[in-house]
A and B are shown apart, each in its own frame.
Chain A
Amino acid sequence: MDNRNPRQSLPGLCLIPREDGIPRALFPQETPETYLAQARILESAGGRFLGLWGAGDPEPRICTAFLLREGLFVLVLPLPKETPSPTFPSLSGFIPAANRFERTVRDLFGFRPEGLEDTRPWVGHDLWAVPPLSLPPGSPVPENPGAGSSDYPFVRVTGPGVHEIPVGPVHAGIIEPGHFRFQVVGEKVLRLEELLGYTHKGVDGLFRNRDIAWGARLAARISGDSTVATSMAYAQAIEQALDFSPAAGVRALRALLLERERIANHLGDLGAIGNDAGLGFALSQFGRLKENLLRKNRQHFGARYLFDQVTPGGVRTSLDDEAISDLLEENGILLEEILALHKIYDDHGGLQDRFQNTGVLLPEVAHRLGLGGVVGRASAQAWDLRADHGGDPYRRFPPALALAHTGDVAARVLVRFLEIQESLSFSRALLEHLPEHSIAESIPDNSGPAEGLGIVEGFRGEVLAWVRLAPHGVIEAAHIQDPSALLWPALEIAVPGNLVADFPLINKSFNLSYSGNDL
């Protein structure tokens, strides 16, 4: 590794620019003390904590990701192999967001976060008698006979007139499962606490001992609405591990697919947010635009939701001239429609009344939580991988960053409107300058162990992937991190002070993934 020091504040950590995306590297730490010290340095240098995950045998370790303007830094703390339930220093003391990640590692691997006072289970729900990922792949995991016998100790508010509303895991609608516990006085929410993990499917365990192609199918199904983003992050990680760089045409098509996913989701969200504020017109209009886009996806890419379109080494479908001109025509029509609907939203007094000052997440709070994505940008956090340093093709047609400052539902709506417009003009540039392309190349083999990282600006925010390969393309361990895990705690802060009846609206304006959080 190159040990030149680009900044005095980051001793021993240096990133090399990459053609295919954000500079990113793993930094093994020798002792828990250096791990803790480096984490503190990265955090105080303005690094945003992006996630923490574990890996079991044969190389037990803790990985912790920080995003800086320079790129992605992942600290790796190897853990002793022979010790059952080894310990690692908790970061929660100075990075509150690390809490749920460290509890997840404790639930799944049995590694003990030293200094973490919160002993409650998280995604594991105390369902298993032993941590499931402490066992070899494929072995049966004994159930905990006492599972479900004790209630999760939510933090409660007491006082005259305070009552509690439990919601979920089954919600009233077509929504993923999760539990919300509200402490309420009158109509006002005093406190919201989430209990997630209901969709925990053991994704990290499933990756073990699989081949790269199977892993790509799993990576596409971490969170269905972000399938392009997770597939792309996974592909980048595999490609970095194998020291392979995809062709310019592949990079351009991937970027185009990612924008189509972003536009489709933003359209769906804008319609649903308007509908939750009582404007059925919004659901119909945005539902129509989204459906039109999905049908074009099926026509030109063979899939409405673009599952399995991005593969390690390439993409599945290419575009001929006829498809390109059809997509350019779609692009122009959609832009006109969006501008018209944006005006209608802005002029609608009833809608703005519900949107403004509802579910406020103050910029300083968003900064303290280290947020990015749509939610972060609506609270003045200027982070967008595409605008910051996306590599090719983002460098050729840099998308502008969409930013709002009020942090309320209105701001999150505005950011989505602006991002669709920016996304459309970026897509137009891609379509007009699509390089000659082969759609896929075979990726090289690896004779020794290899490791790689990937990071992509998905429609919610940064999607992160890490893979460790054993020789000849066998996945030893892998992890994919959806930004939802970082954004869920922010919802707990945005809701108190609002009416219970505004919760669905605020929740929709965040639109977080349960599946991507629970893995």
Chain B
Amino acid sequence: MWKLLLKIFQTGILTEKRGRPLSQTHPPGFGKSLAIRHVDAGSCNGCELELWALENPYYALSSGGVKFVASPRHADLLLVTGPVTRAMKEALLRTRDAVPGPRRVLAVGDCACNGGIFRDSYAVHGGVDAVIPVDHHLPGCPPSPDELLEAIHHAFGSSPPSSA
């Protein structure tokens, strides 16, 4: 056990200071924290790797008051990746409907923005827009954690939420 504690002590705090803390923006309806429900609508899992990276000590997303939640009913923001496959359309619609208002929708990655490299396939709808209204788009294949943080800040703090 002492080895584990020593390792924690030696590692120290790695979290990088960036931008203003999320809680200063106080957008109407979201209080001081933001809960995100992620839906993978058929991505290649590249975007998921960078979403995972947000939880590592360098980015420490949760220290800014942002957390990924397990239930759409607890969420403020629906974060969607992937080109929306035919098989995922129904699941995406149902998840969106379960998110209470005021809510926002953030499309992450080239595929979620416009279908990306898969856009001409019979099996995809070609972007989240084609199925549900989207408030914010973040292109990238995959977008970097810094870009993700900025997009989440933006979705959190600006423009009015989509109608519930």
Contact = CB atoms under 8 A, between A and B. Distances in A.
B28 interface: no
Nearest to B119: A206
B91 A170 contact: yes
Contact of A224 (B120, B142, B144): B142
A287 B56 contact: yes
B53 interface: yes
Which of B4, B14, B68, B91: most chain A Cβ within 10 A? Answer: B4
Contacts of B56: 283-284, 287-288, 290-291
B43 interface: yes
B86 interface: yes
Interface stretch (A172-180, A234-242, A390-398): A172-180
A170 B95 contact: yes
B162 interface: no
A173 B48 CA distance: 10
B85 A200 contact: yes
Given A174-B52, A176-B40, A340 B3 contact: yes
Given A148-B90, A291-B56, A201 B46 contact: no
Interface in A276-329: 281, 283-285, 287-288, 290-291, 294, 304-305, 307
Nearest to B144: A304
Nearest to B8: A281
Interface in B31-60: 38-53, 55-58
A172 B87 contact: no
A58 interface: no
B131 interface: no
A266 B41 CA distance: 25
Interface residues of A, number: 56
Contacts of B38: 173-174
B93 to A, nearest CB: 11
A79 to B, nearest CB: 21
A36 interface: no
A172 B42 contact: no
A224 B82 CA distance: 12
Interface string A119-140: 0000001011000100000101
A341 B85 CA distance: 40
Size category of the B interface is 35 or more
A140 B46 contact: no
A261 to B, nearest CB: 11
A347 interface: yes
Interface stretch (A11-19, A214-222, A400-408): A214-222
A288 B14 contact: yes
Contacts of B130: none
A355 interface: no
B58 A291 contact: yes
B124 interface: yes
B141 interface: yes
A176 B117 contact: no
Given A140-B122, A199-B42, A177 B88 contact: yes
Given A200-B87, A291-B58, A172 B70 contact: yes
A283 B48 contact: no
B20 to A, nearest CB: 23
B26 to A, nearest CB: 27
B7 interface: yes
Contacts of B41: 177
A199 B47 CA distance: 14
Interface of B: 1, 3-4, 7-8, 11, 14, 38-53, 55-58, 68, 70-71, 82-83, 85-88, 90-91, 95, 116-118, 120-124, 141-142, 144
Which 6 A-B pairs give the minimum distances between C-beta atoms?
A: A224-B46, A287-B56, A172-B70, A202-B123, A202-B121, A141-B122
14 contacts: A127-B86, A127-B87, A173-B68, A173-B70, A177-B40, A177-B42, A201-B42, A202-B123, A202-B124, A225-B46, A288-B11, A294-B53, A340-B3, A515-B45
